[in-house]
Amino acid sequence: MPGINEKTFLLRESPTRRIDKIRETIVREGKDIILLSTGQPSIPPPRELREYLAERLMEESMKLYGYTQSQGIRPLREAIADDLKELGGLDLDPDQNIVVTAGAQEGMFATLAAVIEDGDEVILTDPCYFGYKPIIEYLGGRVKYVPETLNDGFQPDIEALKETISDKTKAMILVSPDNPTGRVVDSDVAKAVAELAADHDFWLVMDEAYKTLIYEGDHTWVWHYAPDNVIGLNTFSKDPGMPGWRLGYVYGPWNLIRAVKLISEEMVYCPPSVAQIVITHYLRSGMRKKFLPNVIKEYVKRRDVVISSLEKYLPETRFLKTQGSMFIFPDFSAYLDRLGMDGDEFSERLLRDASVATVPGSYFGSTTKFIRISFVTESPERLEQGIKIMSEFIEAS
Ligand SMILES: Cc1ncc(COP(=O)(O)O)c(C=O)c1O
């Protein structure tokens, strides 16, 4: 049989997809699973938006079905530029500084492919969203870590960052609000990172997937401190909640946008046209102002249910109260040490034996005794039930 490029296997299957496969087998056995594993919103996009799409679907036109410019339709890029101006005061040119992508994942791959050369070092936080490391290594880059600890509210350690920067540093990736920790980077920390990026001339890739899902604190727009070095990665998967429709965008300086556009064009030709048209309307209609406050209210309620359930049923867990995103990331050391298990074994057995799906902390870095819990997919009642089952499972193990 002809061979396969071995480098391909540096690209690992996403843990949530892996868990989904085990879940499907259990569901086939007729068992009910409580899903604390996925960052998929359970609230669909606004009804008015779906009505708008329904109307457009009836038109005798190829607009929803045709190819678009590989950089994305101009009305959407203009709407994104205006949105970023309103949200963060950014001054971006829709032609020079924005490229629409098939989700943040494709934007992430195209961005990293555009900047990483063999032997380049890329700095990640530890823990960090699991999407980055495989792509960096696949592209020939080397990952360096900057620690973040629960005791420091998972803020990146600036002194450690200074020591990690070398003349091979090509980029640093910062996710805020963060997946898995739920922290929002403090403004002084974000500013310090951006200034280091400018001083040492490396790219600061800001993953802003959850920028509008903040419950405490504010998003810092690092672009203001290093406009020539900052690359923003964004998605419409979380707000307004259409992950399967694959739409996101990258903003940054023209030399980067031009490269991302070329790579994107080779990979997907153009982002999905129907999603581009729907999202242009979402951004232009002002719908988000009515929709998002209700989503945030609901997510805060669910986050608080998880927190009170942890305090009630698993009082020895330690965690940061989620400031943004869809996750809480408790430290289960007290329980796991007693059980003699690591997070991987705990999470897998919890799923197979007790039908509660979570993501073990090892998928994100050295946080092997932490467990990621998503609070957006299940109802408050089922969230509480899930935590209670975790505590019963620990008691029985
Ligand atoms: C931090 C972060 N970045 C990027 C992505 C990818 O988003 P998309 O659905 O747009 O590919 C996710 C998805 O969960 C994420 O959590």
Domain identity same for 368 and 256 = no
Q: Kindly state the tokens that stand for 209.
A: 């997937």
Counted domains in the chain: 2
pLDDT at residue number 20: 78
Residue of 68, 80, 79 whose CA lies nearest to 232: 80
Does any ligand 1 atom lie closer than 6 A to the CB of residue 271? no
pLDDT value, residue 60: 96
Does residue 57 form part of some domain?
no
Q: Is the CB of 105 under 6 A from ligand 1?
A: yes
- Is the same domain home to 298 and 276? no
- Determine which of 14-23, 56-65, 237-246, 349-358 has the lowest per-residue pLDDT on average: 14-23
What six digits make up the tokens of 104? 């943040």
Q: What is the pLDDT of residue 16?
A: 74
Closest-lying ligand 1 atom to the alpha carbon of residue 103: 10
Predicted pLDDT of residue 29:
84
Instruction: Confirm whether 51 is domain-assigned.
Output: no
CA distance 382 to 103: 29
Shared-domain flag, residues 125 and 267: yes
Atom of ligand 1 nearest to the CA of 108: 4
- The predicted pLDDT at position 25 comes to 83
> Does the pLDDT at position 70 exceed 90?
yes
Are residues 304 and 215 both part of a single domain? Answer: no
| Residue 386: inside a domain | yes
104 C-beta closer than 6 A to ligand 1:
yes
pLDDT tens per residue across span 13-26: 777 777 777 888 88
37 lines ligand 1 (CB under 6 A): no
Residue 229: domain span = 62-287
Domain boundary among 255, 287, 319: 287
- Residue 222 sits in the same domain as residue 105: yes
pLDDT in tens, 91-128: 999 999 999 999 999 999 999 999 999 999 999 999 99
pLDDT for residue 30: 85
147 in a domain, yes or no?
A: yes
pLDDT at residue number 102: 98
pLDDT at 21: 79
State mean pLDDT over 215-233: 98
Query: Do residues 281 and 294 both lie within one domain?
Result: no
- Nearest CA to 243 out of 14, 396, 64, 3 is that of 14
- The pLDDT, as a whole number, for residue 26 is 84
Supply the residue whose CA is at minimum distance from atom 4 of ligand 1: 104
Q: Are 254 and 315 members of one domain?
A: no
207 lines ligand 1 (CB under 6 A): yes
Q: What number is the average pLDDT over the span 267-279?
A: 97
Considering the domain architecture, whether residues 171 and 272 belong to the same structural domain is answered as: yes
The predicted structure's pLDDT at residue 190: 98
Lowest-confidence range among 32-46, 204-218, 251-265?
32-46
The response to whether residue 235 sits with its C-beta less than 6 Å from ligand 1 reads yes
In this predicted structure, the answer to whether residue 7 has a pLDDT above a threshold of 80 is: yes
Evaluate whether residue 1 is within a structural domain. no
How many angstroms does the Cα of residue 316 sit away from the middle of ligand 1? 30
Q: Establish how many alpha carbons lie within 13 A of residue 53's alpha carbon, considering only the half-sphere containing its beta carbon.
A: 17
pLDDT tens digits for range 321-362 = 999 999 999 999 999 999 999 999 999 999 999 999 999 999
Cα-to-centroid distance, 388 and ligand 1 (Å): 29
Q: Are residues 109 and 211 in the same domain?
A: yes
Q: Is the CB of 103 under 6 A from ligand 1?
A: yes
Residue 55 lies in a domain: no
State residue 322's pLDDT score.
98
pLDDT tens by residue, 126-159: 999 999 999 999 999 999 999 999 999 999 999 9
Expressed in angstroms and rounded, the spacing between residue 60 Cα and the centre of ligand 1 is 34
What residues have CB less than 8 Å from 361, skipping those under 6 apart? 127, 180, 329, 343, 367, 368, 369, 370, 371, 372
Sheet containing 327-328: which strands, arranged edge to edge? 327-328, 371-374, 359-360
CATH number for 226: 3.40.640.10
39 close to ligand 1 (CB < 6 Angstrom): yes
Residue 56 lies in a domain: no
Q: Is the pLDDT of residue 45 over 90?
A: yes
| 261 and 220 in a common domain | yes
- Whether ligand 1 lies within 6 angstroms of the CB of 243 is answered as yes
299 and 281 in a common domain: no
Q: Average of pLDDT values for 36-50?
A: 94
Segment 238-260 shows an average pLDDT of 97
Greatest Cα pair distance in the chain: 65
Q: What is the pLDDT of residue 17?
A: 75
3-state secondary structure 360-393: EHHHCCCCCCEEEEECCCCCHHHHHHHHHHHHHH
Is-above-0.85 flag for pTM? yes
pLDDT at residue 28, rounded to an integer: 86
Tell me, yes or no, whether 131 lies in a domain: yes
Examine the fold and report which residue of 222, 253, 287 is the final residue of a domain before the chain moves on.
Answer: 287
What does the mean pLDDT of the chain come to? 96
258 and 356 together in one domain: no
**3-state secondary structure (DSSP) of residue 259:** helix
Structural domain ending residue among the three candidates 263, 287, 311: 287
Q: What is the pLDDT averaged over residues 71-87?
A: 98
CATH of the domain at 25: 3.90.1150.10
Residue of 15 and 29 predicted with greater confidence: 29
Rounded mean pLDDT of 289-295?
96
